Amino acid sequence: MPVKVILDTDIGSDIDDAVCLAYLLAQPECELLGITTVTGEADKRAMLASALCKVAGKRVPIYPGSEEPFFVLQKQNQAPQAIALQKWAHDKEFPRGEAVEFLRQTIHKHPGEVVLLAIGPLTNVGLLFRVDPEIPSLLKSLVMMCGVFTKGVESLEWNAIGDPQATAIVYGVAVGTHRSIGLDVTYQVRMDVGEVKEKFHSHLLQPVLDFAEVWFQQKDTITFHDPLAAATIFDDQICVFKKGTVEVELTSEKLKGATYWKPDDSEARHEVALQVDSGRFFEHYFSVFQ
């Protein structure tokens, strides 16, 4: 049976969101129930998602979500990759103000079956959990590209600090499976420009390449943060997870949104990725496009 997935994304900034969505659309084991977008220019982000869905030939409900975090200023006001939309057919009109309700109704419709994959700042998910506290218990799992949990890379991660209060809400609830893939692991799956252009030959990855041209004006690599999180849903051997407890920093202005993980095997609430088999990940990722 295909896995029911809802994607919450800030597609249009870092290119890895588009790389992730293309994977989900190509993954034969994925039943993508819907997409919600988050952070600035949520409508344009929805258009980018729509362009990929159209290339894939799939009709997926898309809902622009919250553009403003709970209590901090928005760090991501624009969706730069939207400039590439002129090359690709896409929807331009979407339901407004309905993203959280869509999430709520869809999860209630499929209790115990939905994987909520969150790969952007957690405003939409935090609002969802506040509006309907029953939702976490109805999810099959919550999988997030979020946080930093071991030493070796910077202590702050974009999605976690984008809305620290929402991050704290999301880590404060009990979900049957509550998984995080952090920067300390995702930094191990990278490709440079040349490798990307060599590997991205599927028709579904062509719009991603166009979106990536905007990204490559500033960066010379793609880090597969979000695709790695998505791939763990379908291959549980890609990453090694460890149970523990995650706490979110809210008091220090400099560290607000930092994630602190304490290993604990007894009734631990969270699972975090500690290791990744990068070769297995890349083989798995590109296999769905063949």
Q: What is the pLDDT of residues 31-54, one digit of tens each?
A: 999 999 999 999 999 999 999 999
Dist CA 161 CA 143 (whole Å)? 17
Q: Whole-angstrom Cα distance, residue 6 to residue 117?
A: 6
Q: Which residue is associated with the tokens 């799992």?
A: 141
How confident is the prediction for the chain on average, in pLDDT? 96
End-to-end CA distance of the chain: give it in Å, rounded. 21
What per-residue confidence (pLDDT) applies to 269?
87
Reported as type and span, the H/E element at residue 170 is helix 164-171
pLDDT bin (cut points 50, 70, 90) of residue 267 is confident
C-alpha 223/C-alpha 198 separation (Å) is 16
CB 278 within 8 A of CB 188: yes
What is the predicted pLDDT for the residue at 155? 79
pLDDT digits (tens, 9 = 90+) for 173-194: 999 999 999 999 999 999 999 9
User: In this structure, what token pair is assigned to residue 53?
Assistant: 């869905």
Q: What's the pLDDT tens digit per position in 273-284?
A: 999 999 999 999
What does the pLDDT read at residue 268? 84
Task: State the pLDDT at residue 151.
Answer: 79
**Could you give the C-alpha distances from 56 to 32, 51, 59, 137, 234, in angstroms and in order?**
12, 9, 9, 32, 19
**Domains of the chain by range and CATH?**
3-287 (3.90.245.10)
Burial environment of residue 216 by CB neighbours within 10 A (0 to 12, 13 to 18, 19 or more): middle
User: Which carries the bigger pLDDT value, residue 153 or residue 179?
Assistant: 179
Using alpha carbons only, what angle is made at residue 258 by residues 253 and 263, rounded to the nearest 5 degrees?
145
Number of CB atoms found within 10 A of residue 56's CB: 18
